[in-house]
C-alpha cells in the first residue's frame, strides 16, 4: 500500500528507471501530453486491460444472476475505428459541445484552461497565478473544441474533414443494431470496448493522468427504462469493487455521486470513482472512471439527430429552417422486447474507465519504501511495488545462486517451463540481494532461487516480495504452487 512518503517525483523516477513509462519522442525534447510505455509498463497496462476484459466480458457468466445484479445479462465486445463518419460527432453533440474554455495571455502568449487559472503558474513569475503579474494581459475565456481534426484522402476542403475519436463509446452506439442482429444478445446486455481516444487537452498535466492520447475501457449497457436505475446502482457499485479487488482498497479510493447540477443534461445519475493521486493536495481526489445513467440520449441522438433539453423532454435541436441542426442516421435503433411485447429505445448505463489512469493509480498505490536486512543482516532501504499478482508485469523471476555447479542449467530449465504459462524472468548477473531488489522495484511477486541444496534434494527457495520470507518447495511443485497464487 502506498505510504505517506509517496510523491509523484518518486513514481515518475521509478517509471523511467525501470522502464514503465517514458516521455514520447524524448530524444527530440518530448511532446506535451504524450507518453510511451516501456518494457515493464506495457506488461502492466496490458494486465490492467486484460483483467478488465476478463472480469467484464470474457469471464462473465450469462447463465447466472451475478451478486447485486437485477437479472442475468449478456456481455460482448467490439473493436471499432478511431476515425468515424463526421456526422457521428455532430449528432452526438461533441462537435458543438466538446470544448474547454481557455484564456490566452497577450503578453507572454501562454494559454491556460479558464477553470485552472488558480492551479497554473504565470510563466514570468511562477509564484504568481496567470493574471496576477503587472504585465499579464489575459483575454476573455474562449471555446476550444478538444477533438483532433484530420483530413481523409487527398482533399483538404471541409468535406474531407474528420476527427480522431475523443471517446470509444460512439463506436458502440452506432453498432448497436449490428450487434443485435449478428449475435444472440437480448436486452439487458452490454457492449465493451478498449481502445485509444484522443483529446487536444489545453493543459495536459500530472504525468499520464491528463494526456492527449490515452486508452479507454468503456461499457455501454443497454436495458429497459424501468430497470435502468437498478442497473445503474449495480454497475456503480460493481466497478468500485473491481478496483478494490485489484488492490486499491485503501482510503485513497472513493465513490462520489454527482449532484443534479453537475450532471450532463441527459443524465439521470452519475458517479465518479476517484483516487487520491499523490500529485493532488491532501484530501483531493482525481477521476479514475465515470459511471453514468445516460437515459435513451445516445441511441435517440443517432436516430433523430442532436438532442437538447426542453423542460423535461429531450428534443431535436433545429436550425432556422426548422430542420434538425445535426441530423441523425434516420435508422430505427429501438428494441422489441419479446418477453414484454413492448418496443422501446433502450436506456444506457455507461461505466467509462481510463486504462492509463487505472495503471497510474495501481502504480501509485503499489509504491512503497521499507528496510530489509541484506545478506549480512544490515537493514537496507528498498523500493517495492506491491502490485496485485494479476497486474504484476513479471510473475516470477528465476535465479541460480551462483553461475556454476550446474545451478544455471536447472534454473534455465525452471524458467523455460514457467515461461510457457507466464511472463517470467531469468537473471544470473550481480549479487542475489541486488537481483531481489531489482525484482522488488519491478513488482515481481515471487523470486525462485536454485542453490546448493537444490542439487541435493531437488528443492528451491521461493521468496515472497511483500514479506521477503523464503520457503523451500520441490522443483516439481513450482508450477502448481505459482498457479494457486497468480
Site residues (CB under 6 A) for ligand GAP?
167, 169, 199, 201, 210-211, 214, 216, 218, 287-290, 350, 352-354, 356-357
Give the C-alpha separation, 104 to 110, whole Å.
6
Complex with ligand GAP: residue 167 or 365, whichever CB lies closer? 167
Q: Which residue is nearest to ligand GAP (CB)?
A: 354
Complex with ligand GAP: residue 271 or 353, whichever CB lies closer? 353
Give the C-alpha separation, 9 to 55, whole Å.
32
Give the C-alpha separation, 87 to 96, whole Å.
12
Cβ neighbours of residue 230 closer than 8 Å, sequence gap 6 or more = 70
Complex with ligand GAP: residue 145 or 211, whichever CB lies closer? 211
Residues in a beta bridge with 286: 275
* CB of 349 vs ligand GAP, minimal distance in Å: 12
* CB of 16 vs ligand GAP, minimal distance in Å: 19
Complex with ligand GAP: residue 34 or 426, whichever CB lies closer? 34
Residues in a beta bridge with 269: 293
Q: How far, in whole angstroms, is CA 325 from its chain's centroid? A: 34
* CB of 355 vs ligand GAP, minimal distance in Å: 8
| Cell numbers placing 107 | 503578453
* CB of 14 vs ligand GAP, minimal distance in Å: 20
Complex with ligand GAP: residue 213 or 441, whichever CB lies closer? 213
Cβ neighbours of residue 145 closer than 8 Å, sequence gap 6 or more = 95, 98, 99, 200
Complex with ligand GAP: residue 352 or 459, whichever CB lies closer? 352
Complex with ligand GAP: residue 162 or 202, whichever CB lies closer? 202
Long-range contacts from 480-483, C-beta under 8 angstroms, 24+ separation:
482/395, 482/396, 482/418, 482/422, 482/446, 483/421
User: In the 8-state DSSP scheme, what is residue 358?
Assistant: H
Complex with ligand GAP: residue 346 or 408, whichever CB lies closer? 346
* CB of 2 vs ligand GAP, minimal distance in Å: 19
Give the C-alpha separation, 453 to 84, whole Å.
62
Q: Which of 56, 350, 71 is nearest to 220 (CA)?
A: 350
Map grid coordinates 483575454 to a residue: 139
* CB of 217 vs ligand GAP, minimal distance in Å: 8
Which sign does the torsion angle of CA 321, 325, 326, 330 carry? negative
* CB of 383 vs ligand GAP, minimal distance in Å: 25
Complex with ligand GAP: residue 235 or 399, whichever CB lies closer? 235
Q: Name the phi and psi angles at 203, rounded to 5.
A: -130, 80
* CB of 287 vs ligand GAP, minimal distance in Å: 5
* CB of 11 vs ligand GAP, minimal distance in Å: 16
- Other beta carbons within 10 angstroms of residue 353's beta carbon come to 26
* CB of 353 vs ligand GAP, minimal distance in Å: 6
* CB of 286 vs ligand GAP, minimal distance in Å: 9
Give the C-alpha separation, 445 to 463, whole Å.
8
Complex with ligand GAP: residue 307 or 411, whichever CB lies closer? 307
Give the C-alpha separation, 276 to 297, whole Å.
32
Task: For residue 410, give the 3-state DSSP assignment.
Answer: helix
User: In the 8-state DSSP scheme, what is residue 57?
Assistant: I
Task: For residue 44, give the 3-state DSSP assignment.
Answer: helix
Q: Which of 234, 212, 239 is nearest to 223 (CA)?
A: 234
> What is the greatest pairwise CA distance in the chain?
90
Complex with ligand GAP: residue 228 or 407, whichever CB lies closer? 228
Q: What is the side-by-side strand order in the sheet with 470-474?
A: 424-426, 396-400, 446-450, 459-464, 470-474
Complex with ligand GAP: residue 208 or 449, whichever CB lies closer? 208
Peptide bond into 193 cis (omega under 30): no
| Cell numbers placing 357 | 489512469
* CB of 372 vs ligand GAP, minimal distance in Å: 35
CB 210 within 8 Å of CB 115: no
* CB of 122 vs ligand GAP, minimal distance in Å: 24
Complex with ligand GAP: residue 350 or 427, whichever CB lies closer? 350
Amino acid at each position: 500500500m502506498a505510504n505517506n512518503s509517496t510523491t509523484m517525483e518518486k513514481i515518475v523516477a521509478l517509471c523511467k528507471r525501470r522502464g514503465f513509462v517514458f516521455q514520447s519522442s524524448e530524444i527530440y525534447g518530448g511532446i506535451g501530453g504524450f507518453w510511451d510505455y516501456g518494457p515493464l509498463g506495457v506488461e502492466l497496462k496490458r494486465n490492467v486491460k486484460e483483467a478488465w476484459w476478463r472480469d467484464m466480458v470474457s469471464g462473465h457468466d450469462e447463465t447466472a444472476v451475478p451478486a447485486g445484479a437485477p437479472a442475468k445479462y449478456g456481455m460482448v465486445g467490439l473493436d471499432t475505428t478511431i476515425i468515424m463518419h463526421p456526422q457521428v460527432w455532430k449528432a452526438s453533440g461533441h462537435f458543438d459541445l466538446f470544448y474547454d474554455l481557455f484564456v490566452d495571455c497577450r503578453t507572454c502568449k501562454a494559454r491556460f484552461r479558464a477553470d485552472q487559472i488558480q492551479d497554473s503558474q504565470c510563466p514570468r513569475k511562477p509564484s504568481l497565478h496567470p493574471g496576477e503579474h503587472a504585465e499579464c494581459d489575459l483575454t476573455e475565456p474562449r471555446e476550444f473544441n478538444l477533438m483532433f481534426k484530420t483530413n481523409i484522402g487527398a482533399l483538404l476542403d471541409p468535406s474531407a474533414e474528420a476527427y480522431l475519436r475523443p471517446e470509444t463509446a460512439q463506436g458502440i452506439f452506432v453498432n448497436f443494431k449490428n450487434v443485435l442482429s449478428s449475435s444472440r444478445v437480448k436486452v439487458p446486455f452490454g457492449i465493451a470496448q478498449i481502445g485509444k481516444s484522443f483529446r487536444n487537452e489545453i493543459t495536459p498535466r500530472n504525468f499520464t493522468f491528463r494526456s492527449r492520447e490515452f486508452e479507454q475501457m468503456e461499457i455501454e449497457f443497454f436495458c429497459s427504462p424501468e430497470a435502468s436505475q437498478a442497473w445503474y446502482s449495480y454497475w456503480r457499485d460493481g466497478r468500485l469493487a473491481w478496483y478494490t479487488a485489484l488492490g486499491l482498497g485503501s482510503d485513497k479510493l472513493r465513490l462520489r455521486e454527482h449532484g443534479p447540477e453537475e450532471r450532463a443534461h441527459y443524465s439521470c445519475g452519475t458517479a465518479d470513482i476517484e483516487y487520491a493521486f499523490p500529485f493532488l493536495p491532501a484530501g483531493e481526489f482525481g477521476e479514475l472512471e465515470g459511471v453514468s445513467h445516460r437515459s435513451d440520449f445516445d441511441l435517440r441522438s443517432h436516430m433523430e439527430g442532436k438532442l437538447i433539453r426542453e423542460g423535461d423532454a429531450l428534443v431535436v435541436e433545429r436550425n432556422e429552417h426548422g430542420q434538425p441542426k445535426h441530423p441523425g442516421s434516420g435508422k430505427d435503433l429501438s428494441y422489441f422486447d419479446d418477453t414484454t411485447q413492448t418496443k422501446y429505445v433502450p436506456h444506457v448505463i455507461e461505466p467509462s474507465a481510463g486504462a492509463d489512469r487505472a495503471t497510474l493509480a495501481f502504480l501509485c498505490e503499489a509504491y512503497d519504501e521499507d528496510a530489509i536486512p541484506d545478506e549480512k543482516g544490515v537493514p537496507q532501504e528498498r523500493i517495492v511495488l506491491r502490485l496485485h499478482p494479476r497486474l504484476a508485469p513479471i510473475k516470477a523471476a528465476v535465479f541460480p545462486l551462483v553461475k556454476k555447479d550446474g545451478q544455471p542449467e536447472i534454473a534455465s530449465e525452471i524458467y523455460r517451463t514457467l515461461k510457457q504459462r507466464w511472463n517470467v524472468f531469468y537473471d544470473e548477473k550481480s549479487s542475489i540481494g541486488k537481483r531481489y531488489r531489482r525484482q522488488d522495484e519491478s513488482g515481481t511477486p515471487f523470486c525462485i532461487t536454485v542453490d546448493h541444496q537444490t542439487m541435493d534434494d531437488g528443492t528451491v527457495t521461493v521468496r515472497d516480495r511483500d514479506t521477503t520470507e523464503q520457503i523451500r518447495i520441490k522443483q516439481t511443485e513450482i508450477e502448481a504452487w505459482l498457479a494457486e497464487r497468480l
